[in-house]
Structure 1
Amino acid sequence: MILVEKDLIHKAKTKIILFVIDGLGGIPRPEDGKTELEVANTPNLDALARKSVLGLINPVAPGVSPGSGPGHLSIFGYDPIQNEVGRGVLEALGVGMELTESDVAARGNFATLNDDGIIVDRRAGRPSDQDAARVVELLKENIKEIDGVQVLLQHVKGHRFVVVFRGDDLSGRVLETDPQQEGVPPLFPVPEKREAERTARIIWQFIQKAHYALLNEKKMNCVLLRGFSKLPSLQSFADRYKMDGVGIAVYPMYKGVARVIGLNILGNPQNFEEEVRILEESWPDHEFFFIHYKDTDEAGEDGDFDRKVAKLEEVDRFVPRLLALKPDVIAITGDHSTPALLRKHSWHPVPFMICGPYAGPDDCTAFTERQAKHGYYGRIKATDLMSLILANAGRTKKFGA
């Protein structure tokens, strides 16, 4: 980022809200040619769009479907190619685990295998937090150490958990065991490099021990692991942007993304209503607020177009409360697109809008993909979004004489 490389950022008495609507973007459905955003009744987002400048972001690069980690890092202005952060590290940080430099962390899913060893449900029927936490405790009791390596487990949410392997000479360069689809068997943990061979063997032993421990479970009878990774060294948000930043999110994954760049996490909200309340209560105390909404992404991944529309309409009802705080700049976007038609993250660009006293507006009249395509900012790299936010907040210097 040029603003960072050329030391063009300065402090200012301005406040910023970055609101990330997870999986925001979509693609048109065949019956009427409209996306979820175009079908949704979002009067508050549309009214804000008329006061804002719009555009589209490529979270990583054209044609690349990003994971949530790279998508968020890009929005925060960190190049996700140069600064790879694995899902395991993000999940572990998100649930408050403290990692050492030698740890290898992985995100785990409980899944359901049939008698032939084929995955029939990658999310094990979406178990309750209580039931999944019970199974995590079962694994803790049965798997404490493998070949001198300590095994640490913690429930995350629903079917998700984190496993951390703590010991010497471990490597995060192991391929995931989650095939990301049903109707096939789990994958083997394959080392990407020779130095990861021992780690892969330990992971395989963990999977086998977990399978044995879960023999009496009807749905949660398999573990799928992905995002094997070690703690990276990233420049902190405060040092990079010369301002105090905080994050507010329900899901640990997004708390982890915030923590890995040094944002302080506020509260422990269980829903978006609680997130907004925490934002309101803490408004006098900080300069930059990252707030996250998850439900749109889940609806898209479930292939439920109408539910994603409903979740966008739910989000819209909170916009007046965000604006009532009178932020100097509010930016709204998504970390990636999750079209219901595809049922997964996609490569499609994501709409964004920035509202501030110097932002615009342009001629866009609604917050949709089609409108954003004609916005003043055009199509940009997601890593440039923070530069625009900072500039609109009066936090940048002139470059050159």
Structure 2
Amino acid sequence: MKYVIVLGDGMADEPIGELGDKTPLEYAKTATMDELALESEIGLVHTIPEGMSPGSDTANLAVLGYDPKKYYTGRSPLEALSIGVNMKSTDVALRCNIVTLSEEENVYEERKILDHSSSEISTEDAKILLEAVREELETDIYKYYLGTSYRHLTIWDNGEVVDLKPPHDILGQVIGNYLPKEAPLKEMMVKSFNILNNHPLNLERKEKGLNKANSIWFWGAGTKPALDSFEDKNNKKGAMISAVDLLKGIAVGAGMKVVHVDGADGTLHTNYEGKARAAYEVLTEDNYDFVYVHVEAPDEMGHQGSVSKKVEAIEALDKKVIKVLKELLDESATDYRMLILPDHPTPIRCRTHTSDPVPYMLFDSTKKLSKSWQYNESEAQLSGNYIENGYTLIDKLFQVNEN
């Protein structure tokens, strides 16, 4: 038996008027998920523990079977694992986004955050801009490391875990009340705007109709993580397929194989089919027991507040990932169990994450159920199936304590 999780990051949502009061998941044309739903278990799972922030960090830890209240030490340290940064026990890692701030104000504190991803900046462009920041701001205390797209890393030697606001939570708002209280962090953010706003690359980006990537933004502080081995916990060899450093970092910390897919970039136009084929290969040719296929696009489109693009991302997940992987496994006569779910909702209404339970669908190629469900938020609730502690969901996938 092979085991698969296909996770559409931020795929869950709320009913939207322009979609006829349907959620994007309800509205999207998802022929493969519709087919699977007729033979699957449907339900709701609460991936965010009470009192914790609804982030992809806590939620994906839970989906992978790690209780966030036990294992979570911050988002950025997990990304540091992916980037290959060797953290000391006294280090604090900070996410260092490259964001778009408004320009017309004369005072940094009065600017608004317009785009947390700077028009989904390419890693190539971000490398040039981060290097300009590094040349001016890096010291023995603060070190900068390149990540992917707009997501980068700063390591603070002998730092402290400080409360910092994620930029995607305050889109369109004046930033003054959300800046770090720690003077060095705030000063670096202010100086970064002066370095980046009129950088030649940003002037080129503006001419192309792209948002300037004109400031760094610190958030997600945390200390060195310590995850138990995924294989030791579950007696399964696991692999991770994701374009996002956070997910790759969780995998590194858990001793899972990280599979690189060319063209997988975490955007709406990522290499969906490449991910599906890589998942099939790691299960069959490499003989791994479990693969986690993470797709970031629905979350990014939720943050952008684009209804049509979120629907497009969900349809691509269905047609280019789930369908392709299902067909490959079926054609090879491989027995498998596939779990499909989001990690958290990213509603268009608020353009950020919420803690509401999310719908899951569990399909078993050897024990096809006869149901009349559709896979969406409302039908998952009607099913009556509810898992309170998200970190136990993987036991259901692996049939732990099931007859």
TM-score, with normalisation over the residues of structure 1? 0.83
* Structure 2 counterpart of 1:83, one-letter code: Y
Residue number in structure 2 paired with 1:156: 147
Residue number in structure 2 paired with 1:265: 258
> Once structures 1 and 2 are overlaid, which stretch shifts more, 41-50 or 322-331?
322-331
> Once structures 1 and 2 are overlaid, which stretch shifts more, 57-66 or 306-315?
57-66
> Once structures 1 and 2 are overlaid, which stretch shifts more, 270-279 or 225-234?
270-279
* Aligned-pair CA distance for 1:25: 0.9
* Structure 2 counterpart of 1:388, one-letter code: K
Alignment equivalent of 2:345, drawn from 325, 337, 340? 337
- Say if 2:195 is the partner of 1:213: yes
Residue number in structure 2 paired with 1:277: 277
Instruction: Structure 1: give runs of 5+ residues left out of the alignment.
Output: 1-13, 191-199
Go from structure 1 to structure 2 and tell me whether the alpha carbon gap of 1:162 and 1:305 turns closer, same or farther (over 3 Å shift): same
* Structure 2 counterpart of 1:321, one-letter code: V
Go from structure 1 to structure 2 and tell me whether the alpha carbon gap of 1:342 and 1:173 turns closer, same or farther (over 3 Å shift): closer
Alignment equivalent of 1:128, drawn from 122, 135, 138? 122
Residue number in structure 2 paired with 1:347: 355
1:135-194 Cα shifts (integer Å, max 9, x gaps): 11112222331xx52x332232333221112x3x3332454585733331353434xxxx
1 CA distance for matches of 2:280 and 2:180? 45
1 CA distance for matches of 2:402 and 2:315? 38
Go from structure 1 to structure 2 and tell me whether the alpha carbon gap of 1:29 and 1:177 turns closer, same or farther (over 3 Å shift): closer
CA contact (8 A) 1:66 1:347 kept: yes
2 CA distance for matches of 1:137 and 1:303? 30
Go from structure 1 to structure 2 and tell me whether the alpha carbon gap of 1:75 and 1:120 turns closer, same or farther (over 3 Å shift): closer
1 CA distance for matches of 2:53 and 2:155? 27
Go from structure 1 to structure 2 and tell me whether the alpha carbon gap of 1:19 and 1:327 turns closer, same or farther (over 3 Å shift): farther
Go from structure 1 to structure 2 and tell me whether the alpha carbon gap of 1:120 and 1:69 turns closer, same or farther (over 3 Å shift): closer
2 CA distance for matches of 1:62 and 1:189? 26
* Aligned-pair CA distance for 1:81: 2.3
Alignment equivalent of 2:80, drawn from 82, 92, 95? 92
Alignment equivalent of 1:182, drawn from 168, 172, 175? 172
Alignment equivalent of 1:234, drawn from 205, 227, 231? 227
Identity percentage of aligned residues: 26
Give the 3-state SS of the residue equivalent to 2:5 in structure 1: strand
> Once structures 1 and 2 are overlaid, which stretch shifts more, 208-217 or 338-347?
208-217
CA contact (8 A) 1:249 1:255 kept: yes
CA contact (8 A) 2:12 2:358 kept: yes
* Structure 1 counterpart of 2:238, one-letter code: G
Residue number in structure 1 paired with 2:298: 296
Give the 3-state SS of the residue equivalent to 1:370 in structure 2: helix
> Once structures 1 and 2 are overlaid, which stretch shifts more, 338-347 or 176-185?
176-185
* Aligned-pair CA distance for 1:125: 4.3
Give the 3-state SS of the residue equivalent to 1:243 in structure 2: coil
- Say if 2:127 is the partner of 1:137: no
2 CA distance for matches of 1:227 and 1:34? 33
Residue number in structure 2 paired with 1:6: none
Go from structure 1 to structure 2 and tell me whether the alpha carbon gap of 1:304 and 1:177 turns closer, same or farther (over 3 Å shift): closer
- Say if 2:336 is the partner of 1:328: yes
- Say if 2:37 is the partner of 1:49: yes
1:296-334 Cα shifts (integer Å, max 9, x gaps): 111111111122112211111132322232342111111
Residue number in structure 1 paired with 2:68: 80
Give the 3-state SS of the residue equivalent to 2:226 in structure 1: coil
* Aligned-pair CA distance for 1:229: 1.0
1 CA distance for matches of 2:315 and 2:190? 45
1 CA distance for matches of 2:137 and 2:97? 17
CA contact (8 A) 1:373 1:379 kept: no
Alignment equivalent of 2:17, drawn from 6, 30, 41? 30
* Structure 2 counterpart of 1:308, one-letter code: K
CA contact (8 A) 2:261 2:278 kept: no
1 CA distance for matches of 2:292 and 2:85? 21
Alignment equivalent of 2:385, drawn from 358, 362, 377? 377
1:108-143 Cα shifts (integer Å, max 9, x gaps): 122324333212424344433322210111122223
1:217-242 Cα shifts (integer Å, max 9, x gaps): 36333221001111122212112112
> 1 or 2, which has the higher helix percentage?
2
1 CA distance for matches of 2:72 and 2:160? 14
> Once structures 1 and 2 are overlaid, which stretch shifts more, 291-300 or 86-95?
86-95
What number of residue pairs does the alignment pair up? 368
- Say if 2:236 is the partner of 1:243: yes
Give the 3-state SS of the residue equivalent to 2:68 in structure 1: coil
1 CA distance for matches of 2:77 and 2:16? 36
1 CA distance for matches of 2:381 and 2:50? 15
Instruction: Structure 2: give runs of 5+ residues left out of the alignment.
Output: 203-211, 265-270
> Once structures 1 and 2 are overlaid, which stretch shifts more, 342-351 or 172-181?
172-181
Give the 3-state SS of the residue equivalent to 2:146 in structure 1: strand
Residue number in structure 2 paired with 1:356: 364
* Aligned-pair CA distance for 1:70: 0.5
